[in-house]
Amino acid sequence: MFELTAPVSGPEPVANLTDPQGRRLEYLRLAVTDRCNLRCRYCMPAEGVASVGHDAVLRFEEMIRLAGILCGHGINRIRITGGEPLVRKGVVGLIENLAALPEQPEVLLTTNGLLLAPHLPALAQAGVRRINLSLDSLDPANWERITRRGGHAKVLQAIDDVLAAGLGLKLNVVVLPGVNDHELVDFAALTRERKMTVRFIEAMGFDGSGQPVRTLGGDEIVGRLASAYELLAVPRHAGAVADTFRISGHVGQVGVIRGHSRTFCGDCSRLRVDTQGRLRTCLYGVPAVDLRAMVRAGASDDDLLAAIRGAVGRRHPDGHAAAAVRLDSMANIGG
Ligand code: SF4
């Protein structure tokens, strides 16, 4: 004969954010600025994007509040993006505060590396364990043609600085047909002695021009790499955007992100909050909720959560269905 014990009444399980396709949202990409110290041709015009005024940009305390609400409902990773996040003063302090949230989310950084060296010790101290570094050419002249700025040597040095600091490193290369697609094999060669992942990204039309994008498809990229290396596929984990390969004899890996083809939407776990505090449920979609306006109008956490849940409930099944008529500049979205 056994006795029924009263169920242990712990705190109500927190309802995570799950969209109509059953995808759980666990990863927040938080854009801290639309400003950048580069002018990459596939992201913005030479004159840059019309920068939103100081007041229109989310304040750090507002970011921390919104991140707190989201982390309380399943977000466990926050990537700091931009523009170039390191141009915003105080970003290391923001990272410290985000890492200190009760749920202790992992905080990651995407940077173009120009300002990385002086910040690296503080970033590591603040809890950053993995960095995505953008570098679209190994040739200084070609890099300057793409970015319209100088400083290539600093970015190259940043690769070894990050590895020397013992942090995880992914090197992101946007593949631009006729511009840098001849460098794929040279980029992959970097992984022979460096424990990092070089990821080749299909060009996407986020330059704000509304013009169609010239892109080299993922299969073509893999084909070119396979013509030079024996590629060994690495099993893909849920939510991953890259198809990753080991190269025999290399300590690092290569990956391909089919950002234009959008073949990885099925288990997408990403939400975005852009520089102006607008929630985006898909990179390709239009902003779903103006969280900044709600915050400044005195909305409660429950109001904000209800608005976020509403947006997640309206989420499109993939980036094709979500695609806006005219894609904004990546600097305004946050990548
Ligand atoms: S395109 Fe949209 S749905 Fe697809 S992976 Fe990117 S953010 Fe997710």
pLDDT tens, residue by residue, 319-328 = 999 988 788 8
Residue 114, helix vs strand vs coil: coil
Q: Is residue 237 part of a domain?
A: yes
Q: Is residue 227 part of a domain?
A: yes
Q: Is residue 277 part of a domain?
A: yes
Give the CATH number of the domain where residue 162 resides: 3.20.20.70
Task: Compute, in angstroms, the gap from residue 322 CA to the centroid of ligand 1.
Answer: 8
Q: Is residue 252 part of a domain?
A: yes
Confidence of residue 288 (pLDDT cuts 50, 70, 90): very high
pLDDT averaged over the chain?
A: 93
Q: Is residue 22 part of a domain?
A: no
Task: Compute, in angstroms, the gap from residue 296 CA to the centroid of ligand 1.
Answer: 29
Of residues 125 and 50, more confidence is placed in 125
Range in 2-11, 248-257, 258-267 the model is least confident about: 2-11
Confidence of residue 13 (pLDDT cuts 50, 70, 90): low
- Residue 329 is classified by DSSP as B
Task: Compute, in angstroms, the gap from residue 57 CA to the centroid of ligand 1.
Answer: 24
In whole angstroms, give the CA distance from residue 202 to residue 29: 19
Best residue among 283, 286, 312, 314 to mutate for probing ligand 1's pocket (most ligand atoms within 8 Å of CB) is: 283
CA 95 to mean position of chain CA atoms: 15
Domains in the chain, number: 1
Task: Compute, in angstroms, the gap from residue 23 CA to the centroid of ligand 1.
Answer: 11
Q: Structure pTM?
A: 0.93
Does residue 9 carry a pLDDT above 90? Answer: no
Ligand 1 pocket: which residues have CB below 6 Å?
Answer: 262, 264-265, 268, 270, 282-284, 318-319, 322
Atom of ligand 1 nearest to the CA of 322: 2
Best residue among 81, 236, 268 to mutate for probing ligand 1's pocket (most ligand atoms within 8 Å of CB) is: 268
Mean pLDDT, residues 94-116:
98
Task: Compute, in angstroms, the gap from residue 283 CA to the centroid of ligand 1.
Answer: 6
| DSSP per position, 202-259 | E--S-BSS-PPPP---HHHHHHHHHTTS-EEEEPPPTT--EEEEEETT-SSEEEEE-T
Residue 136, helix vs strand vs coil: coil
Residue nearest to atom 5 of ligand 1 (CA): 265
Give the range of the structural domain holding residue 217, as residue numbers without chain letter: 27-333
Confidence of residue 199 (pLDDT cuts 50, 70, 90): very high
Residue nearest to atom 7 of ligand 1 (CA): 282
| DSSP per position, 187-205 | HHHTTTTS-SEEEEEE--S
% of the chain surpassing 70 pLDDT: 96
Mean pLDDT, residues 152-175:
98
Residue 15, helix vs strand vs coil: coil
Mean pLDDT, residues 193-214:
92
Task: Compute, in angstroms, the gap from residue 73 CA to the centroid of ligand 1.
Answer: 20
Q: Is residue 11 part of a domain?
A: no
Does residue 235 carry a pLDDT above 70? Answer: yes
Q: Is residue 6 part of a domain?
A: no
Q: Is residue 307 part of a domain?
A: yes
